[in-house]
Structures are given as structure tokens and as C-alpha cells.
Amino acid sequence: MQSLEDIKAKIKDALPGLDCVIGWERGWSPLHGTPLFMRSPEDVDRLTWGPFNVGNPATYLTGFKGKKVGVVVKGCDSRSVVQLLQEKLVKREDVVVFGMPCEGVVDLTKVARKVGDIALVNAAVRAGGTLSVTTPEGMVEIPWEEVAADKCLSCQYPNALVSDHFAGEPLPPAMGRDPAAEQLAALEAMAPAELFAHWAKVMERCIRCYACRNACPMCVCRDHCIAQTRDPHWLTQEDSTREKLMFQMIHALHLAGRCTECGECQRSCPVDIPILALRRKLNAVVKDLFDYQAGVDPQAVPPLFTFQVEEAKINERGW
Amino acid sequence: MPVLAGKELRIVGFLCNWCSYGGADTAGVGRFTQPTDLRIIRVPCSGRIDPLFIVKALLGGADGVLVSGCHPRDCHYASGNFYARRRLEVLKGMLPILGIEPGRFEYTWVSASEGQRWQHVVTTFTNQIHALGPTPVKDVLGACQGLPSLKGGDRAVA
Ligand code: SF4
Ligand code: SF4
């Protein structure tokens, strides 16, 4: 792939001035891309690009505070970078962004539903509209729409929104279905008590591993997360649905007006809890009230960082 | 058994020190009749109210939560209530996706001299909560067990 070679050359050029460049390499199976921290030209040769570059490398940026780093991004990842810049959590001069047009990434849960144990897969190739997966039983060809991550089907930003180096021809926005919106609509159609019971039921299986938090590029408090402080004690260590639900609300509300809908929280959940719907709803509320979308404009101020004396769309005395 | 058992619901009120707490006090001093379901928590400013306080109260089994601060442009700290207004409005919009009726949470502004307005607010809100009935949260999650003490470690007896 020519553009991959181009970007590798650009990374090698930039590497001497950087602490490292974050990207992806092949993981433990042909379906898994894993984070790659490039520090030498040999590392750069391992860089991959394509449907298995699932994770969001922007998550690591705040961990490199005070250092100069590079990051290779898909369109959705670039929104996280933009949001981090907006909040001054990373400095523009400290990060070099490498971008390429993204044609979508796989959802491994969907692949597993088609081929069974994905640990047994020994080859996986995407060609156009088909993902061919080879297992000991033979090859399965799956239409791309059936295994792509939900967010990719209707992706509005397939090209990096900020980049210092861009290789390849920019792609148009995807025009497919939006399964996450359909799911949200289905939840919103439920009666309140029934919906609450639904959340309690799905959160019951949460193991409080905090992977959803750790994978989130905008969760930056790290060692100071209120979910784990003892003083004040927001959450007990009790294994109760109430605490799990409370944790989920902490994550969601701390992301109000900041979540870029990269979907990493839901993807990283080992027990597949559909928590993205909470964020989608919150984003819809923010969009509605403040006409704002996170991670799109590096100059914009996130809506909860500011206020207007007369709020156009808030009617606080209307009850 | 308390005399009001079954008749009263549990409403938590977060009132700012400078305006609404004074307003509630004025209503009390003026001997205005008020429903008794509300338990007041005094906070320094409506801007101090983390929306998660409200979520915590609702998940803990409160049937309703009321927040009241100084009128816009009248905040003791100049802008606390402006920030609060945005956060609280976002929370209100989000509660339905959790399965909690947005009417279980309201916020408003009452100044220290507005005893009458306080009476109106608290009566209207209490009626609204009674119309919604007891929260489904307790049915689903059970009653809230003992709360952890502020310093952690020792636990209140359930
Ligand atoms: S909350 Fe989830 S979707 Fe939003 S930025 Fe964090 S990981 Fe991405
Ligand atoms: S990733 Fe899933 S299981 Fe882990 S804490 Fe988050 S919701 Fe719970």
C-alpha cells in the first residue's frame, strides 16, 4: 500500500525529534491490531494500517506529558486529539499528527459471532466489501457491513481533522446505517421503570475492571479518579448494581460535552455492556442545547467550560 | 412506625447558602405552610453542586431532588449559578435514558427575601413528585444500605 509506505517515510523523518510515535502493529492474531510505540526506524517498519487498527492511540497522549510525541490517527481518533487540544491537555507544539484516510475497522464481537472462536483464526484479509477469515475449518467470506464497527458505517469524519502529515486520498463520509442511533431510539421508547430495570440488569454483569475508563482518551484524571478515592468515598467496593451504575454515571457525566464517540469504552468492555448509548444520549443533549460537537474545532470552547448570561435554549423556570 | 409513613416521599433539596437557604428560612419565619417531604442540604453555591450529587441521591432511592440557587446575575460568587445552569440542564436531559423521569429533578432560583416563592416552589415540586409516585429505583435496586462514612473504613450499620 503506497500511502502506508509514504507515512512510514514521514514518521522516520520526524522520529529523531520525537520521544516516540504511537501507532499499531499486528497483535497476537491476524484479527488483532495492538498499540505500537515507535522509537527506532525498525519499529516503524512494523506499522500497520487497515481494518484491524481498532484502538484509539490518542488515549496514550496525556501519558507523555512534557514530551514530544507523534501519533498516527484515524478520523475518529483525530477528534480525540482535537478535544485534548481544546482542553489544553496536550500542547499543539508537543504532538505531531500523522493521518491517513480510514475505511473502517472491525468489531471483533461481530466476527466472533460469525466464525466462533477468534483465537483459532489463522488469516484475515479485507478486500473491498468483504472480510475473508480463515479458520481450521476453512475460509469464511463475510460482507464488510456485517463485521464493521457500528461507528464506521455512518462515519462523518474518515480523514484526520488535524494532521501535520497526511498520506492518501481523502475519503467521503460514510452513508450507511447508524445502528447505535437505532439502539438508542429503542431504549428511549421504553417506559422509565422498564428502562431503569434494563440498565440494572445489564450493569449487574459489570466486573468493575474500569477498562471502559482506561480506554477512554478523555478520561485523564488517572490516579485521581473519584471512583477510587477514599476521601471522599464516592463508591464503596461493594459488588452491588447500585455502585456499578453510579460508576457508569460518573464516567458518562464526566464526559459531558467532551465525549467524541470513539466507542472505545464499549469496545473495551470485557462483558459487552452496551454503555455507549448513555454517551450518545448525552451528546445529543449537548448538541441540542449548545449546538456543539466535541472534537471537531480546535478553537472551540467545550460548552460546560463556559456559559452565557442568557441561554438561548434553557428554560429553567418552565416547570 | 412514624405517623407519616407511606404518606411522605423522600425529596432531597440542595440549597445555596446565600439565597435559597435564606429564602427557605424566610418562609419558615413567616410561618408559611409547606409540605414536609423535603430534606435540605445547604451548599455554599449552586455552582458547588456536582450533577453527580443528584445522581447519587436518586440512585440512593430519593424520590425527587430539588436544587435551588440565587437568581441569574445575583450569585454571591458572580457566576456559580451560570455554570450550574448548564450542568443541571444537561443532567436533566440525560436522566430519561437512565430510566428516571426528568420531573424527579428540578432546579430553580429563589432569593433570600422570597419566602413566598419558596413556598410555591416546594409545594409545586412536592406535588409533582407525589404525582410521579415512589421511585422505581428502590424496587429495582432495593433500599439503600448504610452509607460509608466520610473517611471510609467504618461503615454505618445497615
Ligand atoms: S466515553 Fe467512550 S466514546 Fe466517549 S470518548 Fe470516552 S471512550 Fe470514546
Ligand atoms: S469495562 Fe465493562 S465490566 Fe469493566 S468497568 Fe466498564 S462497564 Fe464494567
Percent of chain A with pLDDT over 70: 100
Q: What number does the ligand 1 atom closest to the CA of A83 have?
A: 5
- CB B123 within 8 Å of CB A215: no
Residues of B with CB below 8 A from A233's CB?
Answer: 148-152
Chain B interface test: which of A194, A198, A319 (most B C-beta within 10 Å): A319
Q: What is residue B108's three-state secondary structure?
A: strand
Residue A48: the pLDDT is: 97
User: Given pLDDT bands bounded at 50, 70 and 90, which one contains residue B155?
Assistant: very low
Centre of ligand 1 to C-alpha B11, Å, is: 33
Residue nearest to atom 4 of ligand 1 (CA): A259
With H, G, I as helix, E, B as strand and everything else as coil, classify residue B69. Answer: strand
pLDDT band at residue B156, thresholds of 50, 70 and 90? very low
Quote the CA–CA distance of B68 and B105 in Å, as a whole number.
Answer: 11
Instruction: Please write the tens of the pLDDT for every residue from A120-167.
Output: 999 999 998 999 999 999 999 999 999 999 999 999 999 999 999 999
C-alpha count within 13 angstroms, C-beta hemisphere, residue A14:
25
pTM equals 0.91
Decide if B126 touches A, using CB distance below 8 A: no
Reading the block at residue A288, the C-alpha cell is: 441540542
In short, whether A235's Cβ falls inside 6 Å of ligand 1 is no
Pocket test residue of A56, A60, A267, A279 for ligand 1, highest count of atoms within 8 A of CB: A279
Contact B99 A281 (CB under 8 A): no
- Grid cell digits, residue A223: 490516579
Q: How far apart are CA B35 and CA B122, in angstroms?
A: 7
Contact (CB, 8 A) for B110 and B121: yes
* DSSP reduced 3-state for B141: helix
What gap in Å lies between CA A96 and CA A98, rounded to an integer?
Answer: 7
What does the pLDDT look like over A257-270, one tens digit per residue? 999 999 999 999 99
Closest ligand relative to A253 C-alpha? 1
Average pLDDT score over chain B? 89
Give the separation between CA A264 and CA A286, rounded to whole angstroms.
20
Which ligand is closest in space to the CA of residue A268? 2
Q: How many CB atoms within 10 Å of residue A232?
A: 10
- Distance of CA A77 from the midpoint of ligand 2 (Å): 21
Dist CA A173 CA A179 (whole Å): 16
Closest atom of ligand 1 relative to the A252 alpha carbon: 1
Cβ–Cβ contact B132 with A under 8 A: no
State how far residue B130 is from chain A, nearest Cα, in angstroms.
15
CA A45 – ligand 1 centroid, Å: 30
Q: Which of residues 83-112 of B touch A (CB under 8 A)?
A: 83, 85-91, 93-94, 96-101, 103, 106-109
Tens digit of each residue's pLDDT (9 = 90 or more) over A121-131 = 999 999 989 99
| pLDDT classification of A315: cutoffs 50, 70, 90 | confident
pLDDT over threshold 50, residue B158: no
pLDDT at B154: 47
Rounded Cα distance, A71 and A160, in Å: 11
For residue A251, the chain B residue with the least C-alpha distance is B52
pLDDT bucket at B146, cuts 50 / 70 / 90: low
Q: Model confidence at A317, in pLDDT bands (50, 70, 90)?
A: confident
Are the beta carbons of A188 and B96 separated by less than 8 Å?
yes
| Rounded (to 5) percent helix, strand, coil in chain B | 45, 15, 40
The per-residue pLDDT for range A11-25, each reduced to its tens digit, is: 999 999 999 999 999
More confident residue, A157 or A315: A157
H helical segments located in chain B: 20-29, 51-59, 80-98, 115-132, 136-141
Average pLDDT, chain A: 94
pLDDT of residue B73: 87
| Ligand 1 neighbourhood includes A255 CB (under 6 angstroms) | yes
Amino acid making up residue A215: A
According to the model, what pLDDT value does residue B147 have? 54
Q: Does A218 have pLDDT greater than 70?
A: yes
Of B94, B125, B128, the CB nearest to A285: B94
Cβ contacts (< 8 Å) between A288 and chain B: which residues? 93
**Nearest bound ligand to the CA of residue A216:** 1
| Residues of chain A neighbouring B144 (CB-CB closer than 8 A) | 242
Closest CA to A255 of A87, A72, A92, A77: A87
- Angle formed at CA B107 by CA B104 and CA B113, multiple of 5 degrees: 130
Distance A160 CA to ligand 2 centre (A): 29
Residues of B in contact with A304 (CB under 8 A): 83, 86-87, 90
Confirm if A123 and A133 have CB atoms less than 8 A apart: yes
Q: What is the mean pLDDT of residues B113-142?
A: 94
Position A248 scores a pLDDT of 97
- Quick check: B153 pLDDT over 80? no
The predicted-structure confidence for A58-101, as pLDDT tens digits, reads as follows 999 999 999 999 999 999 999 999 999 999 999 999 999 999 99
Q: Above 70 in pLDDT, residue A318?
A: yes
Dihedral (Cα; A63, A66, A68, A69), 10-degree rounding: 0
B99·A311 Cβ contact <8 A: no
Report the C-alpha gap between A249 and A242 in whole angstroms. 11
